[in-house]
Chains A and B, each alone.
Chain A
């Protein structure tokens, strides 16, 4: 359990250090820049979903299967939206994340908070840089 938690922490730090700090190459068109930033958000959402799945895999589970299902369903919807509209996904993804977090049990919300903050921070950065 400690080992898995440590691996997750390392993964989170790597993503924050790399995906979180990336600037789009200036050679890209607006569509290319939007796709570049959208890919960063997909990666951050993947980390959020993977953390939930890992927590659910623990024995005993740190997060219930029902909560994990809600997160996976949100993730699927958010990522599909990003793929369909690389320039206009932000309001839908932000609202969906806020709604998801609001409905989580308090102790599960606390465990997932670092990943939620990561996604929210990246979305804020990407929408600010446009």
Chain B
């Protein structure tokens, strides 16, 4: 794996952080009913971030393994 590919994967991991935090917040809210539940905007943003980071990893793998 080249340095560029490793850098791309690290970028993907960093891009996933908002989705991970939103998921942890959601799980915490369910375990602690007193905490404010996630809003629609937060959940939709988490989906958008998850899709973007997921597609980025696909593209990185496809670029590294051309047909």
Contact = CB atoms under 8 A, between A and B. Distances in A.
A32 B43 contact: yes
B67 A35 contact: no
Contacts of A36: 26, 38, 43, 47
Interface of A: 18, 22-23, 25-29, 31-32, 35-36, 38-39, 42-43, 45-46, 49, 53, 65, 68-69, 72-73, 75-76, 79-80, 82-83, 86
Contact of B43 (A35, A65, A75, A82): A35
A31 B40 contact: yes
B30 A43 contact: no
B2 interface: no
A49 B57 CA distance: 10
Nearest to A43: B50
Interface in B14-36: 19, 23, 26-27, 29-30
A36 B27 CA distance: 11
Contacts of A83: 47-48, 51-52
Overall SS of chain A's interface? helix
B21 to A, nearest CB: 13
Closest A-B pairs by Cβ, 5 of them: A32-B40, A83-B51, A76-B58, A25-B37, A27-B37
28 contacts: A22-B26, A22-B30, A23-B30, A25-B26, A25-B38, A27-B37, A27-B39, A28-B40, A35-B47, A36-B38, A38-B47, A39-B23, A39-B47, A39-B50, A42-B51, A42-B54, A43-B50, A45-B54, A46-B50, A49-B54, A49-B57, A72-B58, A72-B61, A76-B59, A76-B62, A82-B47, A83-B47, A83-B51
